[in-house]
A and B are shown apart, each in its own frame.
Chain A
Amino acid sequence: MNIIVCIKRVPLTQEVDLEIDELRKGVKKDALAYVINDWDNYAIEEAVLLQEKFGGTVTAITIGDEDDEEILRRALAMGADKSIRIEAGERELDGFTISKILAKTIRDLDYDLIMTGVQADDDNAAMVGIMLAEELGLSHAAVVTGMEPEGNAATIRVELEGGMDEISKIKLPSLLTIQTGINDPRYVSIMGIRKARKKELVVINVEDLGLSEDDLAQRTMIEEVFLPPETEGAEMIEGDPSSVAGQIIQIMKEKGVSI
């Protein structure tokens, strides 16, 4: 089974107080540390697990500059066989253009399955996977939490709204967007990542893909980025720990949480 995994490098933002940049169209990025998007990490792991079990190849693809090669090497260290970086230069990209670029790159490759993360930790749009499937004319499933191939099909488990799960069958080739928790992504050591330099990393320039200017024109434009206004409604609960706990339980009950 040949699998393609599309991955993205995103900033680590959990502990950071983000600041809006001067143009008010984004955040200041110079002091941010970048990592592999968490969802994509699960997607790579899932692809590598399938490859270890059923053979075939895993190819990791990302769009970005040289710094972004780090996540490709990480994917290679985890067990991917090949990787492709698409150099987009200074172009501004959105979900639409990204899916166009990826589709054009993937179209001629040999694959049975494409995996992406459900969403990326930076803008949380969750668009690329589905748009890419559409672009390639593939069947797809989103928010996949389990996957078991059977011949030229696969049984998949999908997370639905309201805490429900759905099990269904999907024909291959198809595209799955992978939810966190589907597996336990492995740690790859710094040495392992360095050794992965020996594996294949192909760089393609976006200009060489033969996409039209219309294909590369963004469909979503950011007007303004701002912090949510501070609102009323925070209630400070005071007292010793047991009375605080009691009050919290009371509030939860009042709000309808079944305890």
Chain B
Amino acid sequence: MLPIHPVNDTYFGLPGYVFAWAIFIAGLSLFFYIIYKRSLLIRSGEADPRLASLARRLSGLFFYGIIQKRQPRYLWAGVIHIMIFWGFVVLGLRSIDLVTQGLNIPIFYPLMQTAFGSFYDTFKDLFELIVLGACVWAILRRALIRPERYRGSHQLEAYFVLGLISFLMLTDMFYEGSALLMDQSGHVKWLPASELAALILEGSEPRFLACTHAVSYWLHILAFFFFLNFLPLGKHFHIITALPNVFFKKLSRGSIKPARWDVEDIDELESIGVEKIEDFTWKHILDFYTCTECGRCSDNCPANTIGRPLSPKMLTIKLRDHCFDRAPLIRGKHGGAPKEDSQAMVGGIISNDEIWSCTTCGACEEECPVFVEYIDKIIDMRRHLIETSQNPKTFNKVLMHFEKTGNPFGKPAQKRADWIKEMEGTPVRVLREGDEVDVLFFVDSYGSYDPAAQAIASNIAAGFHIAGIDFGILGALEKDSGHQIRRMGEEGLFQLLLEENMETLNEIRFNRIVTTDPHAFNTLKNDYPGSLQVVHYTQFFADLIDNGSLKPLRPLEKGNIYTYHDPCYLGRHNGIYDAPRKLLRAIPDLKLVEMERSRDRSFCCGGGDVMLWHEIDQEEMRMAEKRMQMAKEAGANVIVTACPFCYIHFEDAIKTGGMEDEMRVVDLMGLLVSTLRD
């Protein structure tokens, strides 16, 4: 600690610390007022329990909040951010130290006299340079490289804040640098930032040094409190809310939130879904505050990529602006009631097309460094649209079919097992209530009725048969799993299908369920109550290959190069990336290449939900066509999927894209079965 301090000077006839106290009290009061105002909306949000699994939350906070594991998914932007973030962590102590010095209560003085103090002085100086360097780098990146993902973000605010952070670094550097030159006692510590400032000030008159010292201090303190109050006004609110947001992140994968967390029976609800901003849960409102506008979500969003009117980032920015409008910092003229909305939130600020453009692929959520959620919010808005009959009209018949026949096609339940009639030499048992079986094969609607998906179901049955597995299907007793229904927002109908399926499942004794498609797998595993033992067929057969029960022997036709497309609900939503690849590697002579966007960055085929019954007019090309191009670019001529919906979309895309001569789509099970038989 240097002996001279600007607060000991007299300004306008008053001691400096009076001003320091004034800035401190004003700055902090204003800050608490703003935070209080911002908290009002969060407190009016719906219930959302986020405290269970404390250990997992703390570890999430450590890895994603402190270590910032997701940042380097965009390497250089991530490195810059980590530099600045860690600078803030280290320099936070320094800032408190500087403020408390001014208040004449130097609480850190004793600490700074210890060995830690002298280590810290050097350490924080080093970080000041690192942060300064990172800010300059970030400014240059924004100005020169201009990443596309920043389009629509508050760019000026970004530049302003980078400038403000640099200013904080510089004022401290000059505050310390001038002191170094004034202090003739000589120092032994290495202070790279301060010494750099001292080098610049070298040879200045003592009066100028004293002045620089004082001005730097006051500017630093003023800038600090200005910054503090500026944060909650825009995207830099994340500096305050990001760590809580990461701590409170959604822990379950693949599931959709219930209509309301605090009401178990949806029949007790007056209305369902989100119509206005307060209908979101408090955590979802915190999400809006926390968005950093980095645009990684939209950069990975398939709907955004193909030109649909959905950009997850813009959805959040628009809703945050709407939050600020609904709960303004300064009361309105008429007793502070929030101003009347000029347009509805759902259907106005967020258009219906935006809401129906989402395939719920989860690419946005996988990417977001601060764990902003999108799918639950979109489903909640869909619930409102369905509830108020504002859904696309093409859904009407489909939903009626689901309700009346348990499948989207309106086909009779009695025909649900008709596909097994075509299975020559492979008996398939149709289970009845009270039966016992090892593997309950949940075929679901597409596998049961759609010709392309029936072929996949048949291959799975053939695989079971070859491996000697005791398996059976539910036939007419099976109802659609409801995965699509829930994601279309028809929660009541989903509950109905779930109840009917659970009744059936409770009447049959089985060890595990194997599903045809990742969607049924996901919903049975993550949306259904209890803990059903559910696996997707890729997991089941990968295990059989592992333990030697199955061995692919027959080599494939030569000359093909395969690539594997990760279905969203197998990969991203359930973390199953290796089982399908294990199956592919087990096939003799199969040449596999990876697409650039694979595993958790897989690009959705168009989806197995809304897309099947509703077309968004505004799009430049089909998602599946885009994906086929990616497969081609990877050098493959066969794209392998493990989901009937992906298969159907790719088959279409090959035709509409005129790629019949160059590309082919196969289902992994078909490929596997062809190598098991002679």
Listed in ascending order, the chain A residues whose CB lies under 8 Å from chain B are 12, 14-16, 31-35, 184-195
In the assembled complex, B496 has its CB within 8 A of some CB on chain A: yes
Name 27 interchain pairs, CB-CB below 8 A, sorted by A: A12-B404, A15-B410, A15-B412, A16-B412, A31-B414, A32-B412, A33-B404, A35-B400, A35-B404, A185-B396, A186-B389, A187-B389, A187-B393, A187-B395, A189-B272, A189-B386, A189-B387, A189-B492, A190-B403, A190-B495, A190-B496, A191-B266, A191-B267, A191-B269, A191-B272, A191-B491, A195-B267
Name the prevailing secondary structure of the A interface residues.
loop
Contacts A186-B389, A189-B387; A194 near B405 (Cβ below 8 A): no
A206 → chain B, closest Cβ, in Å? 27
0/1 string, B494-521, CB within 8 A of A gives 1: 0110000000000000000000000000
Q: Are B404 and A189 in contact (CB under 8 A)?
A: no
Q: Which of A33, A186, A188, A193 contacts B405 (CB under 8 A)?
A: A33
Q: Are A187 and B410 in contact (CB under 8 A)?
A: no
A32 to B405, CA, bound (A): 9
Q: Are B404 and A188 in contact (CB under 8 A)?
A: no
A239 to B634, CA, bound (A): 36
Q: Which of A33, A186, A190, A195 contacts B412 (CB under 8 A)?
A: A33
A235 → chain B, closest Cβ, in Å? 24
Q: Are A12 and B410 in contact (CB under 8 A)?
A: yes
In the assembled complex, B245 has its CB within 8 A of some CB on chain A: no
* Chain A residues with CB below 8 A from B404, complex form: 12, 33-35
Contacts A15-B409, A31-B412; A191 near B492 (Cβ below 8 A): yes
A14 to B267, CA, bound (A): 32
* Chain B residues with CB below 8 A from A195, complex form: 267
In the assembled complex, B490 has its CB within 8 A of some CB on chain A: yes
In the assembled complex, B432 has its CB within 8 A of some CB on chain A: no
Q: Which residue of B has the minimal Cβ distance to A31?
A: B414
A195 to B272, CA, bound (A): 12
* Chain B residues with CB below 8 A from A190, complex form: 403, 490, 492-493, 495-496
* Chain A residues with CB below 8 A from B493, complex form: 189-190
Q: Which residue of A has the minimal Cβ distance to B267?
A: A194
Q: Which residue of B has the minimal Cβ distance to A38?
A: B397
A31 to B404, CA, bound (A): 11
* Chain A residues with CB below 8 A from B411, complex form: 15
A65 to B643, CA, bound (A): 43
In the assembled complex, B68 has its CB within 8 A of some CB on chain A: no
* Chain A residues with CB below 8 A from B496, complex form: 190
A189 to B386, CA, bound (A): 7
In the assembled complex, B391 has its CB within 8 A of some CB on chain A: yes
B189 → chain A, closest Cβ, in Å? 69
A257 to B238, CA, bound (A): 67
In the assembled complex, B453 has its CB within 8 A of some CB on chain A: no
Contacts A34-B404, A191-B267, A194-B267; A14 near B410 (Cβ below 8 A): yes
User: Count the B residues whose beta carbon is within 8 Å of the partner chain — how many?
Assistant: 29
* Chain B residues with CB below 8 A from A16, complex form: 412
* Chain B residues with CB below 8 A from A186, complex form: 389, 396
In the assembled complex, B399 has its CB within 8 A of some CB on chain A: yes
Q: Which of B266, B399, B491, B495 contacts A187 (CB under 8 A)?
A: B399
Q: Which of B387, B395, B412 contacts A192 (CB under 8 A)?
A: B387
* Chain B residues with CB below 8 A from A185, complex form: 396
Within 8 A of A (CB), among B253-271: 266-267, 269
* Chain A residues with CB below 8 A from B386, complex form: 187, 189
Q: Are A189 and B490 in contact (CB under 8 A)?
A: yes
* Chain A residues with CB below 8 A from B491, complex form: 189, 191
* Chain B residues with CB below 8 A from A12, complex form: 404-405, 410
A181 → chain B, closest Cβ, in Å? 12
Give 7 new A-B contacts, CB below 8 A, not counting A15-B405, A33-B404, A191-B272: A14-B410, A184-B393, A187-B389, A189-B492, A190-B492, A191-B492, A192-B387
The 10 closest A-B pairs by CB, nearest first: A190-B492, A186-B389, A191-B492, A33-B404, A15-B411, A187-B396, A190-B493, A33-B405, A16-B412, A184-B393
* Chain A residues with CB below 8 A from B492, complex form: 189-194
* Chain B residues with CB below 8 A from A194, complex form: 267, 492
0/1 string, B372-402, CB within 8 A of A gives 1: 0000000000000011010101011001100
Q: Are A188 and B410 in contact (CB under 8 A)?
A: no
A187 to B395, CA, bound (A): 8
A188 to B403, CA, bound (A): 12
B514 → chain A, closest Cβ, in Å? 27
Q: Are A191 and B387 in contact (CB under 8 A)?
A: yes
* Chain A residues with CB below 8 A from B495, complex form: 190
0/1 string, B568-592, CB within 8 A of A gives 1: 0000000000000000000000000
A171 → chain B, closest Cβ, in Å? 32
* Chain B residues with CB below 8 A from A33, complex form: 404-405, 412-413
A185 → chain B, closest Cβ, in Å? 7
Of the candidates A12, A31, A190, A192, the one having the most CB atoms from chain B within 10 angstroms of its own CB is: A190
A192 to B267, CA, bound (A): 9
A191 to B492, CA, bound (A): 5
A33 to B414, CA, bound (A): 11
Contacts A33-B405, A194-B267, A194-B492; A187 near B412 (Cβ below 8 A): no
* Chain B residues with CB below 8 A from A34, complex form: 404
A31 to B396, CA, bound (A): 23
* Chain A residues with CB below 8 A from B410, complex form: 12, 14-15
A214 → chain B, closest Cβ, in Å? 38
A22 to B117, CA, bound (A): 98
A162 → chain B, closest Cβ, in Å? 29
Within 8 A of A (CB), among B192-249: none
Within 8 A of A (CB), among B477-494: 490-493
A190 to B486, CA, bound (A): 12
* Chain B residues with CB below 8 A from A192, complex form: 387, 492
B658 → chain A, closest Cβ, in Å? 15
* Chain B residues with CB below 8 A from A184, complex form: 393
B259 → chain A, closest Cβ, in Å? 9
* Chain B residues with CB below 8 A from A191, complex form: 266-267, 269, 272, 387, 491-492
Q: Which residue of B has the minimal Cβ distance to A78?
A: B389
A16 to B490, CA, bound (A): 26
A32 to B415, CA, bound (A): 12
A14 to B412, CA, bound (A): 10
A193 to B267, CA, bound (A): 10
A189 to B389, CA, bound (A): 8
Q: Which residue of A has the minimal Cβ distance to B492?
A: A190
0/1 string, B112-130, CB within 8 A of A gives 1: 0000000000000000000
